[in-house]
A and B are shown apart, each in its own frame.
Chain A
């Protein structure tokens, strides 16, 4: 009778992390296609023209989102070094800043001087709406990770969920880096 080693057929544990990372980057790639198409639709429909938008609000929510990337980076770096207290506050700050960003987009929608029936309105509400839905799902993911952190999970050697959630948050930030000038600054 053949003796089967307990590890036979299983991938080494360290490979799982590699699979997770590659899988997440493939997900980002597929999401980039969606956001890239939205961006090209914006320029196809309106060229570099745009309607009046609240410049100060646009700049403010952009700074808030960039700041949230810094706090997310702080949380990830802290848990990598087993500093749970700083990781905790980093995640809380990121969640709060994300909520402020989403509220800012909501306010922009409420006060917009154009409607969804105009070409610019269509692209503006679609682009900011889909992006905001990613921000809200990112907040949800960060809350789940934060709750796990409070329950004592994660350490310097095992923190992939924090790293994955934070990477997703940075991706949402990268998307806004392109959406902000396309919607607020051109023309």
Chain B
């Protein structure tokens, strides 16, 4: 259980950092297009991390319970 939990915690820390960076970016950057693009990239990155590591999309075609 240690290995998957370790991975989960690393992903959680990355998600937390991305959320804080997203917030600071939105507050500090005044150029609309740059801010919009930055927020979009951050959201896509966070969603990809959750879908891969937490929702295990790679297990979709696996028949057995995975560990």
Contacts and interface: CB of A to CB of B under 8 A. Distances in A.
A120 B49 CA distance: 30
Range, interface on chain A:
35 or more
Nearest to A72: B54
Interface in A78-98: 78, 80-81, 83, 86
A157 B65 CA distance: 6
A125 B51 CA distance: 26
User: DSSP majority for the B interface?
Assistant: helix
Nearest to A81: B1
Interface residues of B, number: 37
Given A18-B61, A48-B32, 10 more contacts: A18-B63, A21-B60, A25-B60, A70-B8, A167-B56, A173-B50, A173-B54, A181-B39, A184-B26, A185-B22
Interface of A: 14-15, 17-18, 21-22, 25, 48, 55, 59, 62-63, 66-67, 69-70, 72-74, 77-78, 80-81, 83, 86, 156-160, 167, 170-171, 173-174, 177-178, 180-181, 184-187
